[in-house]
Chains A and B, each alone.
Chain A
Amino acid sequence: MLKRIRQILAVVSIVLITLLFLDFTGTVHKWFGWLAKIQFLPALLAMNVAVIVGLIILTLVFGRLYCSVICPLGIMQDGFAWFGKKARKNRYTYSAPKNILRYTLLGVMAIAIVAGISWLVALLAPYSAYGRIAQSLLAPVWAWFNNLFASWAEAHESYAFYSVDIWLRGATTLIVAVVTLVVLAVLAWRNGRTYCNTICPVGTVLGFFSRFSLLKPVIDTSKCNGCGLCARNCKASCINSKEHTIDYSRCVACFDCINKCHKGAISYTRRRSAAATDNIADASSRRAFLSVTATIAATAALRAQEKTVDGGLAAIEDKKIPERKTKIVPPGARSIRNLESHCTACQLCVAACPNGVLRPSTELDSLMQPESSYERGYCRPECVRCSEVCPAGAIRPITVADKSSVQIGHAVWVRYNCIPLTDGVECGNCARHCPVGAITMVPSDADDDNSLKIPVVNTERCIGCGACENLCPSRPFSAIYVEGHEVHRVI
């Protein structure tokens, strides 16, 4: 019974969390966005005291239920373990806790957070690891099916589905996701929750508390016949059937043992209680940041066809990412530093961005953390999706009104790319689309009011949204591009 409830909750939980990464319409977020916000490490980095206290109380009452029904990476491993058990029954055995390894890795994590080694934090954080898998590997499949539906809908003049771009946001992140998935699948298949009880820092922290939990599986030695069936079915390898003891720091409250025992010797019950102890690691500052973005591969340059009538479509060259002295992070991040010190690189914002702006960074300093670029789209005025979904406080919630007054960067004009000067035609597309009216078109020749007009940017009004950069006709490099601000300013 308890196992069945746990399984149902786990399936519902992982499906909904996965949908958070797949659904690009924002509907699922409206209802279930909180599922990301109750994840331990992001909540810790967000200084979300209520969630942390709540999770610790949950653990103190029920044991590591978090690892069984809330953590998507844990549930995913149970999935692989389930298949493993199908292949060979009773495959697990008791093993002694690897305490030195566990606490060393917890220490490493704490140091990484404090010292700002964000790539290490990102690699070790369990929820983020799952997020990367969902975003990099599942989201494209989801989008592909959506596009299939969209083409059917199109054939039937229906607007129920619309197609979306499928593009590789970051190769590094994809590779990390694949490696994480393969390693965890193999570990879970063979030995159950190895990762959770030796590597996962959240597992170690919660294990510390679950030792004192109110409710826990207890072996009734008067009923136990010492068959060892419970131990051979314990994916946490924490039941020592010979000694009739359970290592509660590793028990993830899956209730498999209760179901397995023919003698009814194991029950989930109250025994001793213990007081909660103080919180551990704290979010802290990290190094300042300066980076230049790598350019992505672009298609070969093609000149527009010669102008004749009925000449079809001119080829359009892909935009290239300009070299920015300071990278751009989305409004709500407050500063590059704030983003880097809170982000666990879960990719939820990257998955949620409907404008193709956010993508994981490839720089080691901020590996897999989001950054903005405008060659596929720009940070549109009506959208605050990333700020709504971020569970870690790296991108704080802002309103559409707030957004129009946050300067995340400023536009810089590049004379030698500007179309009126290179092609000798009227343009002004940047000024036409600036949402805050920061761009004015002025005659290129100050003495001649009729000369072709070029843009001038009032950087005091510019918010760095990238509308100008994205819609600039100059290709592959725009004649106007955005330089990020290390610290966002409110105007």
Chain B
Amino acid sequence: MKKNNISRRDFIRRLGIGASVTGLALAGCDNAAKKAAQSENSLSETSDDKMTYRVNPKTGEKVSILGYGCMRWPVIPGKEEGQDEIDQETVNRLVDTALANGVNYFDTSPAYCKGRSERATGIALARHPRDSYFIATKMSNFAPQTWNREASINIYRNSLKELQTDYIDYMLLHSIGSGNGMDDFKARYIDNGILDFLVAEREAGRIKNLGFSYHGDITVFDWALANHDKYKWDFVQIQLNYLDWKHAKELNPRNTDGEYLYGELEKRGIPAIIMEPLLGGRLSNVPDHIAVRLKQREPEKSVASWAFRYAGTHPGVLTVLSGMTYMEHLLDNLNTYSPLVPLNDDEIQFLYDTADLMVQYPTVACNDCKYCMPCPYGIDIPAILLHYNKCVNQGNIAENTQSENYAEARRAFLVGYDRSVPKLRQASHCIGCNQCSPHCPQSIDIPKELHRIDRYVESLKQHPTA
């Protein structure tokens, strides 16, 4: 413990926030306490040292408001394409720093990082006492050949093995509602008896909390909550951020506004775990003038900190997940949440106004989760969409050849495109088979977007100058 304190002090000194944070912390606690008292279903809050914690109403355990998402572990690029390896040494350092600074929730899945996340997370965590953190993992039986009972149970047993533990703190049905809606959900969890199996495991104590994560078809979400009395969900993981609160459905009719999802959980007193608070970085890598707008209001806070404070401000939130690849991300988030200073109504309205401005940009709602991969025809889908978004945000999409910046925008787009995506993996090779779209948690019509981008690339190539 003493060692931890020293490193924490070191860390604070490094960030140079020292005394000012202490002041803020006191004010923040006060504020948070007031906020907590207002809502009946809000989770009670404590402040251990500096990290803000929320209390799980069932178990009474204190969960850090910052949860570590293990979907984006750093990798060391391999010599050949696709031969990258998880950078275990850095993973260990990240986990050590997170634990030392009060993070105690680690969320992984058998599917993450091409199936290597659980092992890497397990290696890093096993170096610490098992009772100093909570592990969340998922039943990621996406592939139809894993829908049978034996294959699914194998996935579960393998998770325990990879994570080097004999119990899971938080077990989730992974992304219910994705793919073919209710049909897939029934095939994955109901007809094969896997949900009953997991409930039994909870009774046996090998699963402490059982819940689900949701994307896509809202009927599955509603069905699951309608059966809350039967399954007694201990928590539910939803996508929540200031863009999706009111705009999710507007941006894509197949998605549901965060306001509804959170409201349904709040009604039933089910703790919410938040994923995509930052939309895979889309709420930190924003168009230039949006960034200016946010920085102007809080010049010393990062753009990302707004999104994290927003997610944490909701009192029914148990923890907010962030897939932190770099130490800088982790330090910034620790800064934001040590302690959490909830947003006031004025600030929340400011973010909603910001969201209204953001939806005017034609970015594609890709969060780089890579669930669509691998494309059987070799397309690097997220890389294409990310490159396009980057060009949109940097103002490098030319309306037409008469645009003032046509030549520069064209060069930036085409040269950057070849750098970000090898030629054979570019959108021109997308055949439109649509095997990817059902996997997309954001319900993006991927072939449509790729063909749109390809048409844009073609028009740029065919018109070298204005």
Contacts and interface: CB of A to CB of B under 8 A. Distances in A.
Given A309-B140, A429-B432, A159 B114 contact: no
B143 A308 contact: yes
Interface string A311-348: 11111100000000000000000000000000000000
Given A163-B419, A314-B376, A315-B378, A307 B143 contact: yes
A313 B428 contact: no
B432 A310 contact: no
B204 interface: no
Interface string B393-437: 000000000000000100110111011000111001111111100
Interface in B368-394: 369-378, 380
A433 interface: yes
Interface of B: 71, 81-82, 111-115, 140, 142-143, 369-378, 380, 408, 411-412, 414-416, 418-419, 423-425, 428-435, 439, 451, 458, 461-464
A426 B433 contact: yes
Nearest to A376: B423
A139 B89 CA distance: 42
A381 interface: yes
Given A311-B114, A312-B82, A382-B461, A429 B378 contact: no
A304 B112 CA distance: 19
A311 B374 contact: yes
A316 B439 contact: no
B410 to A, nearest CB: 10
A311 B461 contact: no
A175 to B, nearest CB: 29
Contacts of A471: 428-429
A419 interface: yes
Nearest to B461: A382
B143 A429 contact: no
B260 to A, nearest CB: 26
B142 A473 contact: no
A445 interface: no
Decide if the interface of chain A is mainly helix, strand, loop or mixed: loop
Nearest to B71: A310
Contact of B374 (A313, A377, A382, A429): A313
20 contacts: A159-B408, A159-B411, A162-B419, A304-B374, A307-B143, A308-B115, A309-B140, A310-B111, A310-B369, A311-B114, A313-B378, A313-B425, A315-B378, A377-B423, A382-B462, A423-B433, A429-B430, A429-B432, A471-B429, A473-B431
Interface residues of A, number: 33
Pick from B429, B433, B435 the residue with the most CB of A within 10 Å: B433
Contact of B143 (A154, A306, A425): A306
Contacts of B380: 313
Given A159-B416, A310-B115, A380-B461, 17 more contacts: A150-B419, A159-B415, A304-B374, A309-B140, A310-B114, A310-B373, A312-B373, A313-B81, A313-B375, A313-B378, A314-B376, A382-B461, A425-B435, A427-B431, A473-B377, A473-B429, A473-B431
Pick from A163, A308, A309, A382 the residue with the most CB of B within 10 Å: A309
Contacts of A310: 71, 111-115, 369-371, 373
A306 B111 CA distance: 13
- For the complex of A and B, list the 3 residue pairs with the smallest distance between their C-beta atoms, beginning with the closest: A425-B433, A316-B378, A304-B376
Interface in A410-454: 419, 423, 425-429, 432-433
B113 to A, nearest CB: 7
Contacts of A313: 81-82, 373-375, 378, 380, 425
A305 interface: yes
Interface string A117-155: 000000000000000000000000000000000100010
B212 to A, nearest CB: 16
B220 to A, nearest CB: 17
A465 to B, nearest CB: 12
Contacts of A307: 143, 374, 376, 435
A304 B435 CA distance: 13
Contacts of A426: 431-434
B431 A419 contact: yes
A432 B457 CA distance: 14
A374 to B, nearest CB: 13
Contacts of B370: 309-310, 312
A344 B419 CA distance: 36
A473 B111 CA distance: 27
Pick from B81, B370, B415, B451 the residue with the most CB of A within 10 Å: B415
A312 B374 contact: yes
A36 to B, nearest CB: 22
A13 B140 CA distance: 67
Nearest to A377: B423
Pick from B408, B414, B439 the residue with the most CB of A within 10 Å: B439
A341 to B, nearest CB: 33
Contacts of B416: 159
Contacts of B428: 429, 433, 471
A189 to B, nearest CB: 41
A150 B115 CA distance: 34
A37 B418 CA distance: 33
A432 B433 CA distance: 13
A312 B376 contact: no
B111 A425 contact: no
Contacts of B451: 432
Contacts of A162: 414-415, 418-419
Contacts of B369: 310
A466 to B, nearest CB: 13
Contacts of A473: 377, 429, 431
Contacts of A428: 431-432
Given A314-B378, A425-B431, A429-B431, A308 B142 contact: yes
Contacts of B464: 382
B435 A429 contact: no
Given A380-B461, A426-B431, A309 B111 contact: yes
B305 to A, nearest CB: 24
Interface string A284-322: 000000000000000000001111111111111000000
Contacts of A309: 111, 140, 142, 370-373, 439
B39 to A, nearest CB: 36
Interface string A384-417: 0000000000000000000000000000000000
A260 B377 CA distance: 69
Nearest to B380: A313
Contacts of A304: 374, 376-378
Contact of B373 (A159, A311, A381, A432): A311
A326 to B, nearest CB: 27
A427 B111 CA distance: 28
Contact of B462 (A316, A377, A381, A423): A381
Nearest to B383: A313
Contacts of B435: 307, 425
A310 B140 CA distance: 11
Contacts of A314: 374-378
Nearest to B140: A309
B419 A154 contact: yes
Nearest to B394: A157
B112 A429 contact: no
Contacts of B412: 159
A316 B424 contact: yes
Nearest to A428: B432
Nearest to B112: A310
A304 B418 CA distance: 23
B396 to A, nearest CB: 9
A293 B405 CA distance: 44
Nearest to A304: B376
A382 B462 CA distance: 5
B419 A315 contact: no
Contacts of B111: 308-310
Interface in A468-491: 471, 473
